[in-house]
Structure 1
Amino acid sequence: MVLYAKDIMKKYTNMLSEETTALEASKIMSNDHVGFVVVKDREGKPIGMVTEWDYVNKVVSKDVDPSKITMRDLMASPIISVDPKTPTDKITVMMSKNGIRRIPVIENGKLIGVITSRDIIRIFKDYMDNLSDVIARFGTF
């Protein structure tokens, strides 16, 4: 059975404007219990992503005041995303190739969810559990 992006994504659609400060965004990330922010343009289209690594690399390590830097300054853009019908094997390759741990799921220009490395680990664990069950039913060879 093939799983697709829509099957494993978390339905998370919160996006912040480019003008949102790092301080404001960090409070939203904390409240939402996520380690990322999807950034939108004026029309509401997802255009970039900011992760906790961006905070460490571009704010904390450089002693920048988070109330004086915006998502525009921190975001990785263009955004790397997938369609809801993208198979998980292609998603894992994209994440690995690009060195990313989160990938937005975008349909018709709208954010409909996000897949994280935890989601990938969860489906791998489920797969391994199912495989172990099958092996146990047939006994040792």
Structure 2
Amino acid sequence: MKVRDAMTKEVKVAREDSTIEYVANEMKNLNIGSIPVCDINNKLLGIVTDRDIVVRGLSQGKGGNYTIKDVMTTNPVSVSPETSIHEATDIMSQNQIRRLPVVDNGTLVGILAIGDVAVRDNFIDQAGDALSSISEPSKPSM
């Protein structure tokens, strides 16, 4: 099975100049924890998570009027629609992330969440293994 078969195709995106407050409210309204950041042509520029907003934003004195560009993760890990589900869950595990933007020639075409994999009967074990690895505490670098 390929990522294209399991990904969410309708994805809410933010622009770099969106305010932290606007994106946080979108996350709340949609009950999601991350939003890809794209330009007007849907080229993936980054991703912002609820954790980014707190750790890189609010805890650093950047309130709701700052822009997402101030707190987003640039150059996010992503996959193509043709990536296998097995490879995608390995990438999630290795990078300790729960959501992968799906890009085709740099353009966002979807997002694959660990939950998208977990609801597929033949991938329940892989999703569980990936979630275990994602949830492990990071080892401090020496």
TM bucket (normalised to shorter chain) is: 0.7 to 0.9
The correspondence of residues 1-141 of structure 1 with structure 2, limited to 5 A, is: 3-41=1-39, 43-67=41-65, 69-123=66-120, 126-127=121-122
State the structure with bigger RCO (CA 8 A, min sep 6), 1 or 2.
1
Q: TM-score, normalised by structure 1?
A: 0.77
Deviations 1:28-86 (A, max 9, x none): 2222232111111355311100111212322344453122x211111111121111110
Letter in 1 for 2:113: T
Q: For residue 107 of structure 1, report the CA deviation from its aligned partner.
A: 1.6
Q: TM-score, normalised by structure 2?
A: 0.77
Question: After alignment, is 106-115 or 95-104 more displaced?
Answer: 106-115
* Structure 1 segments (4+ residues) deviating >6 Å: none
Identity score, percent: 31
Letter in 1 for 2:9: K
> How large is the Cα RMSD of the aligned pairs?
1.9
The answer to whether the 8 A contact 1:105-1:115 is kept is yes
Structure 2 Cα separation of the partners of residues 86 and 13 of structure 1? 19
The aligned counterpart of 1:136 is: none
Structure 2 Cα separation of the partners of residues 70 and 92 of structure 1? 31
Per the alignment, do residues 97 and 91 of structure 1 end up closer, same or farther by CA in structure 2, a change over 3 Å counting?
Answer: same
Unmatched segments (≥5 aa) in structure 2 = 125-142
Helix, strand or coil for the counterpart of 2:74?
Answer: coil
Structure 1 Cα separation of the partners of residues 55 and 24 of structure 2? 14
Deviations 1:76-130 (A, max 9, x none): 111211111100110011111111111011123321211112122222xx1278x
**Structure number, greater radius of gyration:** 1
The aligned counterpart of 1:137 is: none
Unmatched segments (≥5 aa) in structure 1 = 130-141
Letter in 1 for 2:46: G
